[in-house]
Amino acid sequence: MDILTLTATPIPRTLNMAMGGMRDLSIIATPPAKRLAVKTFVRESDPATIREAILRELKRGGQVYYLHNEVQTIENSADALRALVPEARIGIAHGQMRERELERVMSDFYHQRFNVLLCSTIIETGIDVPSANTIIMDRADKLGLAQLHQLRGRVGRSHHQAYAYLLTPHPKRMTTDAKKRLEAIAALEDLGAGFALATHDLEIRGAGELLGDEQSGQITAIGFSLYMEMLEQAVKALQSGKEPALDQLLRAQTEIELRLPALLPDDYIPDVNMRLSMYKRIATAEDEAALRELQVELIDRFGLVPEPGKNLVALAGLKLKASALGIDKIDAGPNGGTIAFAQDARVDPMYLVSLLQSQPRIYKMEGPTKLRFAIPSADAKSRLALIGDMLNELSAHQA
């Protein structure tokens, strides 16, 4: 069965399945022509702010959504709003109204027979009123992140500048997650920010059970990056017909310490975010072809790679080879070093025995899984070449 899902803000479970490789993902981030980003303000609830926001919109001939998501008290809120802004003509819409009555209210609002719609979250989807360009959300701390984004999208549907006011109680009365949601929605107000917001939602709420009905998950316990890495490994194992093993998922990456400078210098990539992004891409490259492409991209964007940068890429290549052999750690200096094998290392034991017997002064075993070698390498270039040759030899004698 083929399924196409279209969404402004994918819910955590859907987004998680896409990022984990179980679904294909495509992003449309180009806004309509002349569309302006909605200016978003997070404010502690204050009658003066509400009156000013409503009057500003009314004076320019526009309309206002005032969101109050408690049907039991919505009439009281309407009375308070009438007293605060007597200039406004107010209508009420919520999900417990009769279908015909709700339809009449929405039609009247669309045709501008009144200019303030006091409503519940029923307006979240499917409402397109180009003349409504201010939304005020009472108790925004109670709304979800995707919900806030969808509600903010009800305004700014034409070429006019739109405003969203997210009203909150005193910060001490809000939960930590509510504060994170409001910070995220205020920070990401650019057009096309839905995907970034959904990623924040995934980090705040957790991914939920992939095949169960629980929406919340344990993603915060191990961190988003590690969770996605483990999920990706498990999906690849299942796709290749293997059973994902927990010890394989939790195994740390191969560690290589050759006592040489391996970094992207500040003067080579001055922007810290770009530098961190390149570090991440080099560390997660899947094969040597990907590393070569990255090196070409570095040269194309930033110029010739300095020696420490070349060392970094070379070390990433050695890690790929070592990881494929089941090596936990390689430690080497000017006078030699050690290679620590995992319990399930894919190296022929008889080859190691032949090394120990033929060159006992150079190779020794320290315990059952660590091979010590006494081969000098004076500089970084010779050390990288030495470890590369050793890994090639071990690869040629796999178990």
More confident residue, 118 or 197: 118
Say if 8 falls within a structural domain: no
Tens of pLDDT along 313-341?
999 999 999 988 989 999 999 999 999 99
Q: Are 352 and 380 in a shared domain?
A: yes
Taking residues 20-25, report their average pLDDT. 74
With CA atoms as reference, report the closest residue to 151 among 133, 137, 169: 137
Q: Are 344 and 367 in a shared domain?
A: yes
Query: At residue 92, does pLDDT exceed 90?
Result: yes
Say if 375 falls within a structural domain: yes
Say if 16 falls within a structural domain: no
More confident residue, 4 or 308: 308
Give strand pairing partners of 43: 167
Say if 319 falls within a structural domain: yes
Q: Are 232 and 341 in a shared domain?
A: no
- Give the global pTM: 0.54
The 8-class DSSP code of residue 97 comes to S
Say if 20 falls within a structural domain: no
For 121-135, 239-253, 358-372, which range has the lowest pLDDT when averaged over its residues?
239-253
Q: Are 104 and 185 in a shared domain?
A: yes
Question: What DSSP string runs through 342-377?
Answer: PTT--S-HHHHHHHHHH-TTTEEESSSSEEEE----
Domain CATH number, residue 109: 3.40.50.300
Say if 181 falls within a structural domain: yes
Q: Which residues contact 291 (CB under 8 A, 6 or more apart)?
A: 282, 285, 313, 316, 317, 320
Return the pLDDT at 96.
Answer: 93
Q: Are 242 and 287 in a shared domain?
A: no
Domain boundary among 151, 170, 191: 191
User: For residue 142, what pLDDT band results from cuts at 50, 70 and 90?
Assistant: very high
Q: Are 74 and 176 in a shared domain?
A: yes
More confident residue, 381 or 226: 381
> Which residues constitute the domain of residue 362?
255-396
Query: At residue 35, does pLDDT exceed 90?
Result: no
Query: At residue 45, does pLDDT exceed 90?
Result: yes
Q: Are 91 and 109 in a shared domain?
A: yes
- How, if at all, do strands 90-93 and 132-137 pair? unpaired
Q: Nearest 5 degrees, angle CA 14-CA 17-CA 20?
A: 150
**Number of separate domains in the chain:** 3
Domain CATH number, residue 385: 3.90.1150.50
Q: Are 72 and 186 in a shared domain?
A: yes
With CA atoms as reference, report the closest residue to 314 among 388, 394, 396: 388
Q: Are 266 and 240 in a shared domain?
A: no
AA letter at 238: L
Query: At residue 210, does pLDDT exceed 60?
Result: no
Taking residues 169-198, report their average pLDDT. 84
Return the pLDDT at 208.
Answer: 61
Return the pLDDT at 252.
Answer: 58
Q: Are 49 and 175 in a shared domain?
A: yes
Q: Are 326 and 230 in a shared domain?
A: no
Give me the residue label for tokens 């190296």: 347
Helices and strands (DSSP H and E) totals, the chain: 15, 11
268 is written with which tokens? Answer: 């080579």
Farthest-apart Cα atoms in the chain, separation: 98
Question: What DSSP string runs through 255-293?
Answer: EEE-SS--S--TTTS--HHHHHHHHHHHHT--SHHHHHH
With CA atoms as reference, report the closest residue to 148 among 69, 31, 215: 69
Q: Are 242 and 278 in a shared domain?
A: no
Tens of pLDDT along 243-262?
777 666 555 578 899 999 99
The whole-angstrom separation of Cα 113 and Cα 105 is 9
Burial environment of residue 273 by CB neighbours within 10 A (0 to 12, 13 to 18, 19 or more): exposed
3-state secondary structure 41-95: EEEECCHHHHHHHHHHHHHCCCEEEEECCCHHHHHHHHHHHHHHCCCCCEEEECC
